[in-house]
Amino acid sequence: MGEFVNLTVADGVGTIRLDRPKMNALNVQVQEEIRAAAVEASTNDEVRAVVIYGGEKVFAAGADIKEMAEMSYPDMVKRSGPLQSSLSAVAAIPKPTVAAITGYALGGGCELALCADYRIAAEDAKLGQPEILLGIIPGAGGTQRLSRLIGPSKAKDLIYTGRFVDTAESLRIGLVDQVVPAAEVYDAAVAWAGQFSGAAALALRAAKQAIDAGLGVDLHTGLEIERQQFAALFATEDRATGMKSFVENGPGKARFSGN
């Protein structure tokens, strides 16, 4: 698909693979290729869940600072919107997503990982938002997604200090969800994503949309979002299949079509 970012599909699992040596720096081209891969993963019916992966050595060490250093204020006024939206395209994938984190996930790399529903990290991985050390702040969702994930005080600590976080702390504060040996990160992520390859795709989409949309509204509005998504699923084939299978065979035995 792209020079540095590609989507491959196997057994219902799509892998968005970053491959820009040496550190997967997120320059403008990589940002736009991430967007394209996310859109393809969203619309490809063969993809039932998605792994975001930077390879065995590094997830993504952040933005391309050499490129960014040459940008003026007017330049960044124009670029900041597309920068945010390129990663938000990953967050908007209407399917389960998991970040397989090796090496470093820093700055924009951490922000990319935050766009996933679930994060699996190598034992020696380092995460963080070190933008403050460059005299700036996170600009691709870090101040917003990080605070929603781990709480404002912990997010402020990481963003104010710019420090790197090891996986023991990342697991403790909820920045990552699972820690495995480095050699097992990708396989663990594929295994997590693979459990959804035969799941009710429209129900998963509805669950993700209800949770994500509900995070930004009051409880009353969130409950209404949930109600609408819940009721809409009664128009799907998979709802009829799942309930019929439950009545006849018990839970967990339905074979869904994704419709």
Q: Which residues are catalytic?
A: 111, 131
DSSP 179: E
CA distances from 166 to 26, 29, 145 (A): 22, 29, 19
Q: What is the rounded CA–CA span in Å between residue 170 and residue 38?
A: 26
Q: What is the rounded CA–CA span in Å between residue 4 and residue 76?
A: 23
Q: What angle do CA 106, 34, 157 make, to 5 degrees?
A: 25
Place of tokens 């792209």: 2
Q: Which amino acid is at 243?
A: M
Query: Edge-to-edge strands of the sheet including 126-128?
Result: 104-106, 126-128, 165-166
Reported as half-sphere exposure (CB side, CA atoms, 13 A), residue 167 has a value of 20
Q: What is the rounded CA–CA span in Å between residue 179 and residue 63?
A: 25
